[in-house]
Amino acid sequence: MSWGQALLGFAAGLVIAVLTAPVGVSGAVFLLPVQLDVLRVPSPAVTPTNLLFNIVATPGALLRYWSQGQLSGPLIGQLARATVPGVVIGALIRVYLVPGVQVFRLIAAGVLLPLGVWLCWRTAAGSARRPARSLSPHAISVLALVVGVVGGIYGIGGGSLLGPILVGAGMPVAVVAPAALASTFLTSLLGVATYALLAMATTAPIAPNWVLGLACGLGGLIGGYLGARLQPKMPDNALRLLLGVMAIALAITYVIQSLSA
């Protein structure tokens, strides 16, 4: 790992986190293509490296959300209780079953593209939000468990999937964002620990790239704090539109990567 790669990782983490923290996304989902295609982190080591980014990066945004009184409410605990066991299951699947990255990209694109279009359309049309009770606590727990498994497999944290779905269901971005980031932080802690333990039992490259993960995470730490500080100054419609655009952009990126592979 050269200094140039570390600086590139720092810059990527900083820019991505500034844009994603206001809507509850750690940025790992957008950092994943950078690590795979630009920094050439081997698979499956890229997954725990991305989880390490989450651990270092998200406290900046969480600190700001805490100071703004947004780290409260039942949603945080509800998401954490389901995503934490999910990330362990995902890590085991990643190491021992080795699912293809292409399959994930297509599935993720199939989920994110319609969600992003729907969020943008409803926001532009000025449609009234559906009440948050449109998703039951049981449905939210099941969703969080599935997202935790996906996060454990691909190291994306889960906020990029939880955010659009929960906001699309009618929950305010100001409630979803801190809860999704807190869940991402907890699951990433357990995910990295799980991968570190599994690395002791195999010769495969599954341990995180510590230098790169820390470099990206330091950039994300600063960017996440700045992004969370911007959130109260942005109207809810603007945040929903930003989340929708991000979901569409990521879906298109995954489709292009799948077609060019």
C-alpha dist (Å) from residue 122 to 23, 115, 136, 169, 250: 17, 11, 22, 12, 19
- For residue range 78-129, what is the model confidence (pLDDT) as tens digits? 898 888 888 888 878 877 775 556 766 777 788 778 878 888 887 777 654 4
Give the start-to-end residue ranges of the domains of the chain: 3-260
pLDDT value at residue 55: 92
Give the pTM: 0.76
Most confident of 96-100, 184-188, 253-257: 184-188
Q: What band does 59 get if pLDDT is binned at 50, 70 and 90?
A: very high
Give which of 169, 127, 164, 136 is closest to 29, Cα–Cα: 164
Cα–Cα distance measured from residue 51 to residue 242, given in angstroms and rounded to the nearest whole number: 23
Q: What is the mean pLDDT of the chain?
A: 82
Q: What band does 7 get if pLDDT is binned at 50, 70 and 90?
A: very high
pLDDT value at residue 219: 94
Which of 9-13, 94-98, 188-192 is least confident? 94-98
pLDDT value at residue 33: 74
Q: What band does 132 get if pLDDT is binned at 50, 70 and 90?
A: very low
Cα–Cα distance measured from residue 154 to residue 157, given in angstroms and rounded to the nearest whole number: 8
Q: What percent of the chain has pLDDT over 90?
A: 16
Cα–Cα distance measured from residue 208 to residue 45, given in angstroms and rounded to the nearest whole number: 5
Top-confidence residue, 18 or 45: 18
Which of 8-17, 127-136, 242-251 is least confident? 127-136
Most confident of 69-78, 133-142, 222-231, 232-241: 222-231
pLDDT value at residue 128: 46
C-alpha dist (Å) from residue 172 to 165, 179, 227, 231, 237: 11, 11, 17, 12, 10
Give which of 64, 71, 57 is closest to 219, Cα–Cα: 57
Cα–Cα distance measured from residue 225 to residue 242, given in angstroms and rounded to the nearest whole number: 18
